[in-house]
Amino acid sequence: MNSKTIRNITEKLGADLCGIASIDRFQDAPPGFNPTDIYSRCESVIVFAKRVPSGSLSADNCVPYSHVSNVVIQEVDRLGVELCLILEDLEIESVPIPSDDPSLYWEAENQYARGILSLRHTGYLAGLGVLGKNTLLINEKYGNMIQIGAVLVNIRLESDPMATDTICKSECSICIDKCPQKALNGETVNQKRCRVLSNLVTERGFIIKKCHLCRSVCPNVLGSNRE
């Protein structure tokens, strides 16, 4: 089994992007959030993504965007599970990582959560894109309109080249300036401020994403240097 075969399988399952990072690339991961903290026999991480329909950003209310986001998250999770079943038939042990929730780490006072694996950093290490000042992974072709998933495997695979482009221009601060909650500083996001709008609970108990300005105002929302 090699990286090319893995990518072909993943793309046939519906992934728009697929990259691979060997475990060596995770040496700087925070303690407790390395792939080997999740699965001790992990040798490589298969990272994939599906496009998020960009028309949802143009809606005059937040329901279409929230709906699209929920559907794509489920599709990415489904893809990861199906990939694991195929790999198991090939006698490759694999562990799927959720594209969103659930997670374990939570600081109630700061409303701060961490996934068991940072998928945006994992996507960067697998060559799917670079991190923008809005903290989103930006792919050259699809911009930041992607949803990421991953599968940990117990075989050593060749890593994909990491992206080296500087997508965010040094003078650009549009995502920082436009954030209504002032939650961005160009490196991290203040989740406590962000959650007020990004995870708004309606009176009926629905969780909706009322704000997506950090994504939609980015000059690279649809790809590098596209507006």
133 pLDDT more than 60 = yes
pLDDT in tens, 151-205: 999 999 999 999 988 789 889 999 999 999 999 999 999 999 999 999 889 999 9
To the nearest 5 percent, what fractions of the chain are helix, strand and coil?
Answer: 35, 20, 50
**Predicted model pTM:** 0.94
Q: How many Å apart are CA 142 and CA 129, to the nearest integer?
A: 10
Residue 55 carries which DSSP code? G
- Taking residues 70-83, report their average pLDDT: 98
Q: What percent of the chain has pLDDT over 70?
A: 99
Residues 6 or more apart whose CB falls under 8 angstroms from that of 193 comprise 181, 182, 183
227 pLDDT more than 70 = no
Phi-psi region of 39 (alpha: psi -120 to 50; beta: other; left: phi over 0): beta
225 pLDDT more than 70 = no
The pairs formed by 3-6 with CB atoms below 8 angstroms and a separation of 24 or more are 3/157, 3/158, 3/159, 3/160, 6/46, 6/157
CA dihedral for 24, 124, 191, 200, sign (positive or negative): negative
**In a 3-state reduction of DSSP, which class is residue 73?**
helix
Are 123 and 129 in contact by the 8 Å Cβ rule? The answer is yes
Torsion of CA 56, 117, 161, 154, to 10 degrees: -130
Radius of gyration of the chain (CA): 17
pLDDT bucket at 113, cuts 50 / 70 / 90:
very high
Are 87 and 153 in contact by the 8 Å Cβ rule? The answer is yes
- Taking residues 120-125, report their average pLDDT: 97
Q: How many Å apart are CA 95 and CA 117, to the nearest integer?
A: 12
**Number of helical H runs and strand E runs in the chain:** 7, 10
Are 216 and 132 in contact by the 8 Å Cβ rule? The answer is no
164 vs 215 pLDDT, higher one = 215
pLDDT in tens, 28-49: 999 999 999 999 999 999 999 9
- Taking residues 69-75, report their average pLDDT: 97
